[in-house]
A and B are shown apart, each in its own frame.
Chain A
Amino acid sequence: MAGYACILLHQSAAAACCDQNGVAKCSNTEGPAGWATSFEKLLEDPLGLHTFAEFLKKEFSAENIYFWTACERYRRLPLGNERTAEAQRIYQQHLSLGAPEAVNVDAQGRQCTEQSLQNPDSNLFDLAQKQIFNLMKFDSYPRFLKSDIYKQCLSGDIEKPALDAGLMLQMPTTTPSKLKKSLSNAEDRRRKSLLPWHRKNRSKSKDRGEVDYIQRRNDIIASNENIEDQIGKNVGSDMHSSHSSLTSLDLAITSQDGTKPRLNNQDELTANGGRTSLCRVLLSNGSTTVVQIKESESIQQLVTRLLDKRGITYSSFEVFTNKHPKPMDVNEPSIKLAGCEVTVEQRVVFKLDLPNRKIISVKSKYTKIIVDVLRPILHKYQYNLDQVVVTNANVPINLHLPVTSIDGARLNVQLCEDIKEDRSNTVIRVNNVKANKLDEITNKVDSGVHERKKKVIPRFKGNSNNDSAEDVQSEQSQIKKPLIAKWKAGANKLHVTCSESDALPEENLF
């Protein structure tokens, strides 16, 4: 449900972030001039990394930078099947005999990887990655600094390279600010870059693999991250974390001595690298806490980590700060919260099956009473609360309970007269029967359809100017017949374009 909420929020929040991440904030990076200081510096800057990759493509050695970034992403994967599979993928792609993008590691580097491929730990590729890092550093990097590409960058004549999912150090959704910093209209570019057919330089199948696995990665990281283990721990001493530390310094405010953060007094703080950025979080229950920001985390992950630690479950929440006028996009990197007073407001989300077969999603402040939320909504659809029965799993609900009692539920609204007309027990779930049939029909693409459902919701948001301003509601098109046709069409399309992927990038559907 949390994911659901964030999608509801997504559009307005994303727009707000675009406003805030304009050109003015790009000044923190050193830019092309800094790339000459060291090879590490070059790779720390996403634009540098991409430009370097463009250069390598011209020299036919881009496999090295793809391998290196794949290793960076791999290192951040949690233990589990996902990691084993990813280890295999990288091995097959870059290290195995006859690998399509073989990198030049010595026998030791390969054997080292082969030996622990079945039980991969996070430093499985370290030796090989280090070798490739050195190869690029010693062979390609000096030439890069003398290349026309680099000279053009220095003179400000940068041809912005298209973003490449294969070169992301992290998953795109957790670092959108990174993209925005380096590229104008980053939102568009990001979408484009996820569509395999927009990219010219690499084979489609490879692209799809990348997109696919990045997408899967998101889900896994969001759900599996070992929170207790990481909270309060400063992950930032090794090579890779230094990259992300530079990604978004916009708000990275750190305490100078690193021990006694005084968030209220900005004068004592300096923006110096963001390793130990902090923010103060106020939860809906009134409690407040100072949270350490980890570079790799999205806002969503940070809040979830905090809630989990406190044993609180919010099916949905919104994040406000004292520095941003609009709610934060929870997919943004949490570094955006550095130095902010952050308010996390719980939101309640539930669905309503209306008598006219529409289903609407309702999002509400958690402080409300059910009846106060339902009345204006039903009114909008020309129903009167007195003439309907609202049930949750066939049990009528008490409308005078707080709305939190129906968090995540799917309520059925029926007209009293319908119930009187048909007294059989099974009558209530007419909609459900049909829905089940629908499920059977679209069984194969069930997950894809759910993705689609979520995505559809915000589209209708603009129409729902309802009486109660805090409540966001949306409706899904529920006129069944055309819907099936539509879904099936979508299903076929999915099947054709992404037969190999088990999680679909949302962008593919539109």
Chain B
Amino acid sequence: MVCGSSNKNVDEDDKLYTKKFFQTTKLLLLGTGESGKTTIIKQMKILHINGFSNQERKEKIPFIKQNIHESIYDIVYNMNKINPPVEIYNEDARESVEYILNVGAEDPAEYTDEYYEHIKIAWADKGVQEAYERSNEYQLIDSAAHFLNRIDEIRKSDYIPSTQDILYCRIMTVSISKIEFEVPVPKKYGGGMAEFWMYDVGGQRGQRKKWIQVFDGIQAILFLIAASDFDQTLREDESKNRLKEAFTLFGDIYRSRFVRDAGLIVFLNKQDLLKKKIEQGRKIEKYFPEYSNYRSSDKESNPNSEYDRARFYMKQKVLDIASTPLTIEHIGFVPGKNLHEELPPRDVYIHFTIATDTNNIKRVFDSVHEIILQNVIEGTLY
């Protein structure tokens, strides 16, 4: 942010800030917890800023190690808590599992060779793997397998995190932060550079009341839904299905009067994980009974692909929410409108995304940029 360091500059800075504020396209990332908002921010840094320097990569090492410990601890801790419990398969792994439990939920003060060996032994155990496969029954970060499979790399003293490692590294967001970047404008829209500010927020329930702080002047909301969440419960409330929460939240945002003028772009994220889960035979109808009767009519959908059926079902859910009639009553007073008058439905753009895949996000962002540019020209976003 532009902040005056001395009093006499404050006015000028304010003016500059205001000017910039109106020239800049402001995007807001919203979505429930662990839907991938911060990952999108990281992708913007990779795509439109300077990526990650070696220094920045090294700074992530403690967080990656913390992710490793959190992952393995949560898995072995929950082995006998889930119903039915999972037994350790190989007796040799018992010692390692107990070692990890002894370290406790806090990451160890020192990551020793002994520690890494125990983690490798435990992670290789069939019982532990089974508990990992059932991680939807407890809370586990999505990047668990990615890091646990890379222990031999990560434990090296000269380890420098790869871009993938950085994208997978999970740090829960508790604040509102902003990233600024410039994107070249395609020639057909006049060329030059377009400035973007993208806001990142925390997604858990308690965090959402902060969102309103950044609603002002937002051109487009990127709403992330973790499509693979259909069989998981909320970290903050284990009685609530994550995907259902995401749809409910999307409905709230769709109807919110505070972001009425912002474009809505939905990312059905974590398609890679969704595909994997469907291929494993996870059943969406267990959590969304109406799915049993769903047949995709989308022409892009391959009728033989269960994964396609799943993702288009979710797309349809979003479209259903976005086509529910909006009345003034939902929104509050709108100048020049009758109180019971129906408002035209808002345009909602939907993308299937993999936030950890830079190429995928590049394509999606380009198309988002184009949508914004078109809307700017048509004047609907302002």
Q: Which stretch in A96-104, A255-263, A305-313 binds the other chain? A: A96-104
User: How far is it, in angstroms, between the C-alpha of A394 and the C-alpha of B24 when the chains are bound?
Assistant: 84
Chain B residues 204-225 with CB under 8 Å of chain A are 204-207, 209-210, 213
Contacts of A103 in B (CB 8 A): 206
Answer whether residue A143 sits at the interface, using C-beta atoms and an 8 A cutoff.
Answer: yes
Do A104 and B207 contact each other (CB < 8 Å), given the known contacts A138-B171, A139-B171, A148-B3? yes
Chain A residues 92-110 with CB under 8 Å of chain B are 99, 102-107, 110
Answer whether residue A474 sits at the interface, using C-beta atoms and an 8 A cutoff.
Answer: no
Answer whether residue B238 sits at the interface, using C-beta atoms and an 8 A cutoff.
Answer: yes
Which of B176, B205, B234 has a CB less than 8 Å from the CB of A102? B205
Answer whether residue B236 sits at the interface, using C-beta atoms and an 8 A cutoff.
Answer: yes
Smallest beta-carbon distance A191→chain B, Å: 26
Answer whether residue A64 sits at the interface, using C-beta atoms and an 8 A cutoff.
Answer: yes
Chain A residues 154-199 with CB under 8 Å of chain B are 157
Chain B residues 315-341 with CB under 8 Å of chain A are none
What interface size band does chain A fall in?
20 to 34
Interface of A is mostly: helix
Answer whether residue B301 sits at the interface, using C-beta atoms and an 8 A cutoff.
Answer: no
Answer whether residue B173 sits at the interface, using C-beta atoms and an 8 A cutoff.
Answer: yes
Q: Identify the closest chain B residue to A106 (Cβ).
A: B235
User: How far is it, in angstroms, between the C-alpha of A388 and the C-alpha of B139 when the chains are bound?
Assistant: 82
Write out, one digit per residue, whether chain B residues 1-40 have a CB within 8 A of any chain A CB (1) or not (0).
1010100000000000000000000000000000000000
Chain B residues 80-136 with CB under 8 Å of chain A are 106
Which of A106, A110, A130, A152 has a CB less than 8 Å from the CB of B139? A106
Answer whether residue B376 sits at the interface, using C-beta atoms and an 8 A cutoff.
Answer: no
The tally of CB-CB contacts under 8 A between chains A and B is 60
Do A138 and B172 contact each other (CB < 8 Å), given the known contacts A104-B236, A105-B236? yes
Write out, one digit per residue, whether chain A residues 102-142 have a CB within 8 A of any chain B CB (1) or not (0).
11111100100000000000000000001000011011101
Answer whether residue A56 sits at the interface, using C-beta atoms and an 8 A cutoff.
Answer: yes
Answer whether residue A61 sits at the interface, using C-beta atoms and an 8 A cutoff.
Answer: yes
Do A140 and B175 contact each other (CB < 8 Å), given the known contacts A104-B236, A107-B235? yes
Contacts of B175 in A (CB 8 A): 56, 59-61, 139-140, 143
Which of A58, A135, A157 has a CB less than 8 Å from the CB of B174? A135
Chain B residues 129-160 with CB under 8 Å of chain A are 139
Do A64 and B174 contact each other (CB < 8 Å), given the known contacts A105-B236, A107-B234? yes
Contacts of A110 in B (CB 8 A): 236
* A59 and B202 contact, CB distance less than 8 A: no
Smallest beta-carbon distance A142→chain B, Å: 7
Answer whether residue B63 sits at the interface, using C-beta atoms and an 8 A cutoff.
Answer: yes
Answer whether residue B237 sits at the interface, using C-beta atoms and an 8 A cutoff.
Answer: yes
Do A106 and B174 contact each other (CB < 8 Å), given the known contacts A60-B210, A99-B206, A138-B66? no
Chain A residues 417-437 with CB under 8 Å of chain B are none
User: How far is it, in angstroms, between the C-alpha of A104 and the C-alpha of B209 when the chains are bound?
Assistant: 12
User: How far is it, in angstroms, between the C-alpha of A368 and the C-alpha of B172 when the chains are bound?
Assistant: 68
* A102 and B206 contact, CB distance less than 8 A: yes
Contacts of B236 in A (CB 8 A): 104-107, 110
Smallest beta-carbon distance A376→chain B, Å: 57
Answer whether residue B59 sits at the interface, using C-beta atoms and an 8 A cutoff.
Answer: yes
Q: Identify the closest chain A residue to B138 (Cβ).
A: A108
Contacts of A130 in B (CB 8 A): 106
User: How far is it, in angstroms, between the C-alpha of A11 and the C-alpha of B236 when the chains are bound?
Assistant: 51
User: How far is it, in angstroms, between the C-alpha of A21 and the C-alpha of B41 when the chains are bound?
Assistant: 47
User: How far is it, in angstroms, between the C-alpha of A135 and the C-alpha of B207 when the chains are bound?
Assistant: 13
User: How far is it, in angstroms, between the C-alpha of A152 and the C-alpha of B106 when the chains are bound?
Assistant: 33
Contacts of B207 in A (CB 8 A): 102, 104
Answer whether residue B177 sits at the interface, using C-beta atoms and an 8 A cutoff.
Answer: yes
* B174 and A139 contact, CB distance less than 8 A: yes
Smallest beta-carbon distance A153→chain B, Å: 13
Contacts of A102 in B (CB 8 A): 205-207, 209
User: How far is it, in angstroms, between the C-alpha of A136 and the C-alpha of B175 when the chains are bound?
Assistant: 9
Contacts of A99 in B (CB 8 A): 206
Do A59 and B206 contact each other (CB < 8 Å), given the known contacts A104-B236, A106-B139, A138-B63? no
Contacts of B202 in A (CB 8 A): 61, 104
User: How far is it, in angstroms, between the C-alpha of A59 and the C-alpha of B1 when the chains are bound?
Assistant: 11
Chain A residues 22-63 with CB under 8 Å of chain B are 56, 58-61
Chain B residues 364-380 with CB under 8 Å of chain A are none
User: How far is it, in angstroms, between the C-alpha of A148 and the C-alpha of B4 when the chains are bound?
Assistant: 11
Residue in A58, A104, A110 with the greatest tally of chain B CB atoms within 10 Å? A104
Contacts of B237 in A (CB 8 A): 107
Chain B residues 56-90 with CB under 8 Å of chain A are 59, 63, 66
Contacts of B1 in A (CB 8 A): 58
User: How far is it, in angstroms, between the C-alpha of A60 and the C-alpha of B173 when the chains are bound?
Assistant: 11
Contacts of B238 in A (CB 8 A): 107
Contacts of A58 in B (CB 8 A): 1
Q: Identify the closest chain B residue to A142 (Cβ).
A: B59
Chain B residues 182-213 with CB under 8 Å of chain A are 202, 204-207, 209-210, 213
User: How far is it, in angstroms, between the C-alpha of A13 and the C-alpha of B234 when the chains are bound?
Assistant: 56
Do A61 and B139 contact each other (CB < 8 Å), given the known contacts A107-B237, A110-B236, A138-B63? no
Contacts of B173 in A (CB 8 A): 139
Smallest beta-carbon distance B35→chain A, Å: 14
User: How far is it, in angstroms, between the C-alpha of A110 and the C-alpha of B204 when the chains are bound?
Assistant: 13
Smallest beta-carbon distance A111→chain B, Å: 9
Smallest beta-carbon distance B71→chain A, Å: 15
Residue in A103, A106, A148, A157 with the greatest tally of chain B CB atoms within 10 Å? A106
User: How far is it, in angstroms, between the C-alpha of A106 and the C-alpha of B173 when the chains are bound?
Assistant: 13
Smallest beta-carbon distance A68→chain B, Å: 12
* A136 and B209 contact, CB distance less than 8 A: no
* A59 and B176 contact, CB distance less than 8 A: yes
Contacts of B206 in A (CB 8 A): 99, 102-104
Q: Identify the closest chain B residue to A148 (Cβ).
A: B3
Which of A56, A107, A135, A157 has a CB less than 8 Å from the CB of B172? A135
Smallest beta-carbon distance B377→chain A, Å: 33
Contacts of A138 in B (CB 8 A): 63, 66, 171-172
* B234 and A61 contact, CB distance less than 8 A: no
Residue in B3, B202, B206, B210 with the greatest tally of chain A CB atoms within 10 Å? B206
Smallest beta-carbon distance B216→chain A, Å: 13
Q: Identify the closest chain A residue to B177 (Cβ).
A: A59
User: How far is it, in angstroms, between the C-alpha of A214 and the C-alpha of B5 when the chains are bound?
Assistant: 34
Contacts of A104 in B (CB 8 A): 172, 174, 202, 204, 206-207, 236
Smallest beta-carbon distance A341→chain B, Å: 41
Smallest beta-carbon distance A342→chain B, Å: 39
User: How far is it, in angstroms, between the C-alpha of A425 and the C-alpha of B213 when the chains are bound?
Assistant: 73
Contacts of B63 in A (CB 8 A): 138
In the assembled complex, 7 residue pairs joining A and B whose CB atoms fall closer than 8 Å, in A order, are: A59-B176, A60-B175, A106-B139, A107-B234, A107-B237, A107-B238, A136-B174
The 4 closest A-B pairs by CB, nearest first: A102-B206, A59-B175, A61-B175, A60-B176
Residues of B within 8 A of A (CB): 1, 3, 5, 59, 63, 66, 106, 139, 171-177, 202, 204-207, 209-210, 213, 234-238
Task: Supply 16 further A-B pairs (C-beta < 8 A) apart from A106-B235, A139-B172.
Answer: A59-B177, A60-B175, A60-B213, A61-B176, A61-B202, A104-B172, A104-B204, A104-B206, A107-B139, A107-B234, A107-B237, A138-B66, A139-B171, A139-B173, A142-B59, A143-B175
